[in-house]
Amino acid sequence: MATLSDQLLHRIREAHRRRTLSWWERIYLPAIAQGLWVTSVHFWRNLFLHLAHRVGLFRRIPAAVTVQYPDEQRPTAPRLRTRHRLMQREDGTPRCVGCMLCETVCPAKCIYIVPGEHPDPSVEKYARSFDLDLGKCVYCGYCVEVCPEDAIRMDTQRHDIAAFSRDGMWLDIIELLHPGSRKHTDPPKKFIQLELEDFRRLKQSG
């Protein structure tokens, strides 16, 4: 009697067995003609519809639209995971209480936090330093899920994470609190440690 693993192996072999192509398929010309036909249909249909829309005809039938990225960007679904940000309190200090849960749970080990004592005993700690290496991040969202303070989110709608160097993918605490504040050419302030007053000053300076 065939065991489960034998059946599985048989199915895998069957799935990988190459089908023999007929001579008609091997000359590839029908496939090329088919591809050209599909492209041409879309091209002429869109050209016709765009011209017709110009003169007020067939406006209910949509034509294909090319988005001129990066000058134009399509809005994405709000639940899409995009670049991280750290949430602020009203005075500009981080909402993060330095509990280290996100650093611990992160499967890529790309979060680095240095907590500091907070003068308010009800807050206990704050993140003096918070760095995230996007070059290692796998966008799993565990850091967001695990945070007890809703202090980190992945909702910036920023997808432009390409960089010329690994340092360009590094998010320091200032960039995390104020997404987009660092220019592409500026080096990150890796492991910078800030006092509460520094965060307040940053918020006031905009």
Shortest distance (Å) from residue 92 CB to ligand SF4:
16
Distance CA 132, CA 137 (A): 8
Nearest in space to 171 (alpha carbons), one of 97, 80, 85: 85
Distance CA 190, CA 113 (A): 11
Distance CA 163, CA 170 (A): 10
**CB closer to ligand SF4, 151 vs 177:** 151
**CB closer to ligand SF4, 115 vs 202:** 115
Shortest distance (Å) from residue 77 CB to ligand SF4:
17
Beta strands of the chain (E only): which ranges?
A: 85-86, 111-117, 125-133, 152-153, 170-171
**Positions that interact with ligand SF4 (CB under 6 A):** 96-102, 106-108, 110-111, 113, 127, 132, 137-143, 146-147, 149, 151-152
Question: Which letter, b or e, does each residue of 45-80 get, where b requires 16 or more Cβ atoms within 10 Å of its Cβ?
Answer: eeeebeeeeeeeeeeeeeeeeeeeeeeeeeeeeeee
Shortest distance (Å) from residue 23 CB to ligand SF4:
51
Please, are residues 174 and 94 in contact by the beta-carbon 8 Å criterion?
no
**CB closer to ligand SF4, 173 vs 202:** 173
Shortest distance (Å) from residue 142 CB to ligand SF4:
4
**CB closer to ligand SF4, 147 vs 196:** 147
**CB closer to ligand SF4, 70 vs 78:** 78
**CB closer to ligand SF4, 99 vs 202:** 99
Shortest distance (Å) from residue 75 CB to ligand SF4:
22
Shortest distance (Å) from residue 145 CB to ligand SF4:
8
DSSP classification of residue 133: E
Beta-carbon-side half-sphere exposure of residue 141 (alpha carbons within 13 Å): 8
